[in-house]
Copies of this chain bind each other. A is one copy, B any other.
Amino acid sequence: MSEPLFEKIALVGIGLIGSSLARAVRQNGLAGHIAISTRSADTLRRAEELGLGDTYTTDAAQAVRDADLVIVSVPVGASEAVAKQIAPALKKGAILTDVGSTKTSVIAQMQPHVPQGVHFIPGHPLAGTENSGPDAGFADLFQNRWCIFTPLPGTDPAALEKLSQFWRRCGANIDTMDADHHDMTLAIVSHLPHIIAYNIVGTADDLETVTKSEVIKYSASGFRDFTRLAASDPTMWRDVCLHNKDAILEMLARFSEDLASLQRAIRWGDGEKLFELFTRTRAVRRSIIEAGQEVDAPNFGRQEIAQPVST
């Protein structure tokens, strides 16, 4: 095992991302000491049972004391409270980063509280699953996924390089862009898909003419693909909606406009228009597979579902 990158790493928040980081740090020998902090005593106990770190505390300020790298992995709406709490305890020269899905809001919440001499570098690893909590994490979560930094003007290049090295050793590829562009990009590739998935699952759940058991029974004909995103952590996604509002509303407006036009084509039997759209979208998946971001197997390569189902 190579020499640790950081003497002490503090993880504030130990859900899916935080606990995956803890495992990746341990597996790759990236820290001499892992300090874990979370607000909930139950979650903290679970993290300790799983042996995710070296020290455990519900006091975030205590966890970050003397840490060389502090990673905040909390729902984005909690960013300001965490920043206020840890600011006085941050070590001079420490790197402070986060993993939030919205960047403009996180910067606005955290930056004012960051002390002089601390390197605040906002980050966002594009990785996750529909599961949440410390049990859901795994060391390979970041393998071949992108980690996007949105550095502020005047960021120390050495600190940025060291943080990049950290994420690379967790398996991620690094990208850098400004926070506004990040928020707009994520609104289309991540936030809108989740909102649409939540919405369609809600619509199906509310029907009177088709029963819930029918929706579930026949879900393999398309519906079930949406349920994965719609099973994601409600707190995290509530906060994303509240903290990337403008970009999300912009994408929702475009989506609805396009849907109204598609609906009109269906109503008026415009087969050519339907065929043109349905052909164009096919190429997009091919590109994603070619970019190595998706498996090239029908049905997502889902394993066979072996058990027969009773009626």
Contact = CB atoms under 8 A, between A and B. Distances in A.
Contact of A196 (B200, B219, B282): B200
Nearest to A268: B245
Contacts of A144: 305-309
B293 A220 contact: yes
A2 interface: no
Contact of A223 (B193, B218, B221, B266): B193
A197 B306 CA distance: 28
Interface stretch (A48-56, A63-71, A235-243): A235-243
A116 interface: no
Interface string A184-207: 111011111111111111111111
Given A238-B275, A267-B245, A221 B126 contact: yes
A230 B285 contact: yes
Given A203-B254, A216-B284, A189 B145 contact: no
Interface string A202-227: 11111101101011111111111111
A81 interface: no
A241 B262 CA distance: 10
Contacts of A245: 266-267, 269
Given A129-B299, A196-B196, A190 B307 contact: no
A307 to B, nearest CB: 5
A297 B302 CA distance: 9
A237 B227 CA distance: 21
A183 to B, nearest CB: 11
A143 interface: yes
A4 B277 CA distance: 43
Contacts of A241: 265-266, 274
A286 interface: yes
A298 interface: yes
Nearest to A262: B199
A109 interface: no
**4 shortest interchain CB distances as A-B pairs:** A129-B298, A234-B278, A193-B222, A190-B221
